[in-house]
Structure 1
Amino acid sequence: MTKVAILIDGGYFLKRLRTVRPTTNREDAAAVCRDISRLVTSHLKQINKIERAAHPRALLYRSFYYDARPYLDKGHLPISAKGIDYAKTDRAKFHLALHDNLRRTSNMAVRLGEVRRDPDSLWELKPSVLRDLLKKNRDFADLTDDDFRPTFRQNAVDMRIGLDIASITLKRQADMIVLVAGDSDFVPAAKLARREGIKFVLDPLWRKVDENLFEHIDGLRSGFPKPQPKPEPKAKA
């Protein structure tokens, strides 16, 4: 019986969630956790159409969720210089709750990297604000704290994905790896897996991928139904 490992790039998953699961409250850690479980189960059901196991979950070696620990230090806002405790922000509370929910999920491993900030560039202008400044629609003197966003940088998340792919492959812990991701950073690890006879399936959550990636994977599919296009606004009479 085929054993399957399902690896989920958490940062990518959360970005795509608005598109593939528009009804999910993305601020509710328990609801997001349930969607992650639905994604895993959906992939197992698709594979089980061929394998015919007694139960789709019998195919699962383990699922893995990769993310970074939230930034929990203190700092100051860029314009007003008011103090901010990142541990008390909604973003930090959400990620802490999500990781805790996932740790309590059966056959789920949570792999966490770190979030760091460059002391020389703690803040950056939001893209829309920068465009307005370049077009001279706004003046620098009018900027407020809300026009900036903190420059969080994830560290060692992609490395953990690559290490797990290599470990699963070389230890023969699974016969198939399903990776939920959207970039090409996984290609070296995918090459290793496929050379060792592991089937490698990519789920980009319905985002279009580079045509060159197809030579490095054995299949492309999504665990969620294809999002329906937004209806075009009706023309005014």
Structure 2
Amino acid sequence: MIKTAILVDGGFYRKRARYQWGTKTAEERAKELGAYCMAHIKKKDGPNARQLYRIFYYDCEPSKRSVYHPLTKQNVELDKSDTYTWTLAFIEEMKKRRKFAIRLGVLAERPNYNLKPLVTKDLLNNKRTLDSLTENDFEFHAKQKGVDMRIGIDIASLAYKHQVDQIILIAGDSDFVPAAKLARREGIDFILDPMGADIKEDLFEHIDGLETPWKHSKTEEVQK
């Protein structure tokens, strides 16, 4: 059996899951994530069969701050939003799940609302006017602090202590590369799951495989 640890960048997972499988309740999304991770474990059998060591989930609790919205010219009380309530409920659901270890960072102190990239592009190409903007054309931005560091520390710890044979990282950026190099030097099989998102070509030299267990559209498996 190949002892496998799964590490999940929570912000990335929630964004990709919402894009691919739609909006769900906090309980449904937590159940979906558990099933998604187990799909990795069940994917291999025979001499390559995987045994789950633990699922490490990295995220930040939502901000309680009041943030100015440039379109409405009013402050938005984030702790009164549906997103705040949902995110707290989701993290609590994750804490209840067996074999899950929760690692929480913090959000930057100055979150803000920015125009969505495609909206900005349309404005610059004169396809939209400022008068046509609505609140849906803006998206909330809050930089995570401490999440990448915690992922890197756990990868290093798992590798140096030889607690696992394999690490599967569910993430979409390249910040993990130094930690992945370290793990591979220690003999760890390092798999990246970008959940169907495109990755840079040069990332392939720093991983041992690319693996996404579910299709990029809704399937019966997602609903289980």
TM-score bracket for this pair, using the shorter chain length: 0.7 to 0.9
User: Following TM superposition, by how much is the alpha carbon of 1:27 offset from its aligned partner in structure 2, in angstroms?
Assistant: 3.8
SS in 1 for 2:169: strand
CA distance in 1, matches of 2:72, 2:18: 32
Q: Which moved more, 1:75-84 or 1:167-176?
A: 75-84
- AA partner of residue 78 (structure 2): Y
Equivalenced residues, count: 218
1:3 is matched with 3
User: Following TM superposition, by how much is the alpha carbon of 1:30 offset from its aligned partner in structure 2, in angstroms?
Assistant: 1.1
Matched, 1:183 2:150: no
SS in 1 for 2:152: helix
User: Following TM superposition, by how much is the alpha carbon of 1:74 offset from its aligned partner in structure 2, in angstroms?
Assistant: 2.1
Point out the structure with max Rg over C-alpha: 1
Which of the residues 58, 64, 72 maps onto 2:64? 72
- AA partner of residue 26 (structure 1): T
SS in 2 for 1:17: helix
TM-score (norm. length: structure 1):
0.80
User: Following TM superposition, by how much is the alpha carbon of 1:66 offset from its aligned partner in structure 2, in angstroms?
Assistant: 1.2
1:28 is matched with 25
CA distance in 1, matches of 2:156, 2:100: 18
CA distance in 1, matches of 2:120, 2:216: 34
Which of the residues 164, 173, 178 maps onto 2:163? 173
CA distance in 2, matches of 1:62, 1:30: 20
Q: Would you identify which runs of 4 or more consecutive aligned residues in structure 1 move more than 6 Å?
A: none
User: Following TM superposition, by how much is the alpha carbon of 1:100 offset from its aligned partner in structure 2, in angstroms?
Assistant: 0.5
Matched, 1:193 2:190: no
CA distance in 1, matches of 2:59, 2:12: 9
Over the residues paired in the alignment, what is the CA RMSD in angstroms? 2.4
2:86 is matched with 94
CA distance in 2, matches of 1:90, 1:32: 15
| Sequence identity (%) | 42
Gapped regions of structure 2 (runs ≥ 5):
219-224
CA distance in 2, matches of 1:138, 1:123: 19
- AA partner of residue 34 (structure 2): S
SS in 2 for 1:50: helix
Which of the residues 141, 146, 152 maps onto 1:156? 146
- AA partner of residue 46 (structure 1): K
SS in 2 for 1:44: helix
- AA partner of residue 16 (structure 1): R
Distance 1:134 1:6, change over 3 A: same
CA distance in 2, matches of 1:38, 1:111: 20
User: Following TM superposition, by how much is the alpha carbon of 1:180 offset from its aligned partner in structure 2, in angstroms?
Assistant: 0.9
1:233 is matched with none
